[in-house]
Amino acid sequence: MLCENCNKNDATIHYTEIVNGGMSEHHICSECAKELDLSYYSDGLSSELPFAKLLTGLLASKMLLQQESNNPMTHVICPKCGMNYDEFTKVGKFGCAECYNVFGPLIEEHMKKLQGNSVHTGKKYKTLDNVTEESDNPQKDLEILNAKLKEAINLENYEEAAKFRDEIKKTKEINEIKEIKEGNETNE
């Protein structure tokens, strides 16, 4: 089996990473492992470092594939900080807030793999004008609930899963009622 990072050497290090019940397998050659600092993993006391490096590793392999197929996305440059895709995949860090809009869509799958999720559900930021960034968006609520349901099932936490299932059902019903109402209003 070839190393997923360089696609050149035979993979000698095989490991399974589990984040929130989502399992992913990685096969890496010893040279790349050194570069990615994966040696930290082996002693079971992983620091923050490998996590980020892993992202760059995964992205780098993806990048190679995309370069081969001449994906136009690989020519993207962030207009604010000048970060290009090549550099982004090497350092695995965002250069500015705008980078999230530029590179965000490209790494959504990787984000899911690393974090187990891809949508923020924590504290909501109020801007300086005291406006909450988030508007009432039932579609987004559903997205979040669906993500949580999947999570709970992955973790075999069926009690929680049932709760989310009911909530999704309720949200959908509310949405439908809203839509009917809005439909009636426009009809009137």
Contact residues toward another protein (CB under 8 A) are 18-21, 43-48, 51-52, 55, 80-83, 91-97, 99-101, 104, 107, 110-111, 114-123, 125-128, 133-134, 140, 147-148, 151
Residue number, 69 or 122, with CB nearest to another protein: 122
Residue number, 29 or 148, with CB nearest to another protein: 148
Whole-angstrom Cα distance, residue 87 to residue 69? 19
Residue number, 29 or 58, with CB nearest to another protein: 58
In the chain, the amino acid numbered 117 is: N
For the bound state, the minimum distance from the C-beta of residue 94 to another protein, rounded and expressed in Å, comes to 6
Which residues of the chain form beta strands (DSSP E)? Answer: 13-19, 22-28
Task: Yes or no: say if 164 and 145 are a contact pair by the CB < 8 Å rule.
Answer: yes
Residue number, 26 or 148, with CB nearest to another protein: 148
For the bound state, the minimum distance from the C-beta of residue 144 to another protein, rounded and expressed in Å, comes to 8
For the bound state, the minimum distance from the C-beta of residue 100 to another protein, rounded and expressed in Å, comes to 5
Residue number, 9 or 94, with CB nearest to another protein: 94
Residue number, 33 or 114, with CB nearest to another protein: 114
